[in-house]
Chains A and B, each alone.
Chain A
C-alpha cells in the first residue's frame, strides 16, 4: 500500500516534472498566462499521460524495443486526438485558447519520459498511478504558474476580476514574464524543499572554452 502511495505522490512534489526535471517547458511557458488555460492543459495532459501509461504498460511485452518510440508515439497521439476531439465538442472556448498546444501534447516530453522510464517496466496499476501522479504534478505546476502570471499580469484569476491594488504588469502574461515567473517559482520551491543548487564551477560553465579565467593552472 505504502509503495503505491509513493508511486503516486513522487510525481507531484518530489519529482515534479516542471520544477525538478524541467520537462515540458514549452507548454508551461506558453500556456501559463492564465490560470484557466493552465489548468485546462494540465488536466488534458494528465488524462493522456495516464491512459498512455496504462496502454504502454499493457503492451510492454508485445512492443519490440527497437521500434518502441514509433509505437509509443502512436499510442500517445491516439489519446491526444481523442482528448482534442472531446474538448472541441465539450469546451470549445478552451479548445480555441489552447490551440496548437493541445495537439502538441502528442510530443510532450513528460509523457515520453514516463513511458520510457516507468510504464515499459511496470505493471498496469503502478503505471496508471505514476501517470496520474506525474500528470497531477504537471497540472499543479501549471496552475501555480498560471495563477501567479494571471494575477500579476492581468489582475484576474480564472477570469474573475480581483480587487485592483495596482495596474496589472502586462509583462507577466508575455513570454518574458513567463521566464521570470518560472525562475522565481523554481527558486522558491528549491528553497522550500531545501534543495541545494549544483555546485557551479568553471567545468559546468557554458563559456568554459572561451573564458580566460583560470587558465594556466
Chain B
C-alpha cells in the first residue's frame, strides 16, 4: 500500500459510536430540561419537543430529497434540543421551526451533513433567529410566571396585550448593564432568573458537564478554558462580578455543549485550549464593549470559523518527525536543522 493518507483523528477506534455519544449528550441535557420546565413552565417542554421533532423531520426530508440513505441517528435531536435551550420560552412555535430549518438544512446538510458542518448548527440558527426576530428573541419570561395564574402565553403580542408585568423580565446581564439589581448567587446558580430557558440553570448544566466528562464524551479542557477566561476577565475588570458573568447568559451551555462539538472545534488538546480561550476573550469583548449584553453565541461562531487554522497551528507532531515549521517561522528553517 503506497497510498498513505493522513486523516484527522481518530486513528485508534474505541467502541463508541455516533449513536452512543449523541445519546449520552441527550442524557446530559435532561437535567437542564427538567429544571427549565420547573422554572419556566410546561411550555419549555412543548418548545423542546417542537424543536427536536422538526429537526428530525427536516433531516429525514432533506436526506430523502437528495437521495441519501436515511440513518436513524440521534444527532438532529441533539441539535434540536440545544437550539430549543437557546430560545426564550415565549417564542412562537413557527419561529422555532424556522430556526430548526436553518440549523439542519442550511448549516448542517448543505455543507455535507453530520461531521461536515463548519459551524455549530444550533448556535448559527440562534444567531439567525436573534437577528431576524429581535423583539421575540429578547423577550425574557420571568421565572415561575406560570404560578401566578397566568399561562405561558403563545406570542409576544398577546403577552403584551395581557399586561406584561408578570412576564417581562430581563437577563441578569442586561440588568447589570442597565445598572439595576441583579439576582443573588443562589438564584443565579439554580437558574431562577430570566433568560433562554435551557441556559439559566447552572446547577443542571454542571451536572450534565460532569456526566459528559465522566463518560468521556467531551474533554473538560474547552469548557474550563472558556469559563476560566471569562471569570478571569471579570475578576480583572473593575466593577464586574465574577459570579454574575459565569452563571448568567449562555456561557455555561455554550461552553459545555456547544464549544465541545466535535465537527466544529479543534482536535488536539492544545487546539481545544486555544479555542476555549479565544471564545472567552471574544465573549468578554462583546459583553464589556458592545451594546449587546451577551456574546457567547457570536464568540463560538467566530471561533468555529477559525477552527481550521487552530488545527493547522496545533497539529501534533507525529512520533519521530521534525515539526514542520509554520509559515510565520519559515526564516528559522535553516537554524532548526542543527
Contact = CB atoms under 8 A, between A and B. Distances in A.
B5 A170 contact: no
Contacts of A169: 98, 132-133
A63 B328 CA distance: 48
Interface residues of A, number: 18
Given A167-B95, A207-B308, A214 B5 contact: yes
B133 A212 contact: no
B134 interface: yes
B6 A212 contact: yes
Interface in B113-145: 128, 131-134, 136
Interface string A190-217: 0000000000000000010010111111
A169 B98 CA distance: 10
Contact of B133 (A170, A174, A210, A214): A170
A171 B128 CA distance: 7
Contact of B5 (A168, A172, A210, A216): A216
A171 B132 contact: yes
B131 A176 contact: yes
Contacts of B6: 212-213, 215-216
A61 interface: no
Interface in B315-334: 315
A66 interface: no
A171 B132 CA distance: 5
Interface in B287-321: 308, 312, 315
Nearest to B98: A169
A169 B4 CA distance: 48
Contacts of A161: none
A215 B318 CA distance: 15
Interface string B72-100: 00000000000000000000101100100
Interface in B1-45: 3-7
Contacts of B132: 167-172
B136 A167 contact: yes
Secondary structure class of chain A's binding surface, majority of residues? loop
**A167, A176, A180, A213 pick with most chain B CB within 10 angstroms:** A167
A65 interface: no
Interface residues on B, range: 10 to 19
A3 interface: no
A139 to B, nearest CB: 28
Given A166-B94, A207-B308, A210-B312, A171 B5 contact: no
A149 B163 CA distance: 34
Contacts of A212: 6, 315
Interface in B44-86: none
Contacts of A167: 92, 95, 132-133, 136
A202 to B, nearest CB: 11
A176 B308 CA distance: 22
A216 B4 contact: yes
A9 to B, nearest CB: 32
Contact of A171 (B92, B94, B95, B131): B131
**B3, B5, B134 pick with most chain A CB within 10 angstroms:** B5
Interface in A80-132: none
Contacts of B312: 210
A174 B308 contact: no
B263 to A, nearest CB: 15
A30 B131 CA distance: 18
A168 B95 CA distance: 11
B7 A213 contact: yes
Contacts of B7: 213
A169 B94 CA distance: 12
B5 A213 contact: yes
Nearest to A167: B133
Contacts of A214: 5
A174 B6 CA distance: 41
Contacts of A213: 5-7
Given A171-B131, A217-B3, 5 more contacts: A167-B92, A168-B132, A171-B128, A207-B308, A210-B312
Interface of A: 166-172, 174, 176, 180, 207, 210, 212-217
5 contacts: A168-B132, A171-B128, A180-B106, A207-B308, A212-B315
The 3 A-B residue pairs with the shortest CB-CB distance, nearest first, are A169-B132, A171-B132, A171-B131
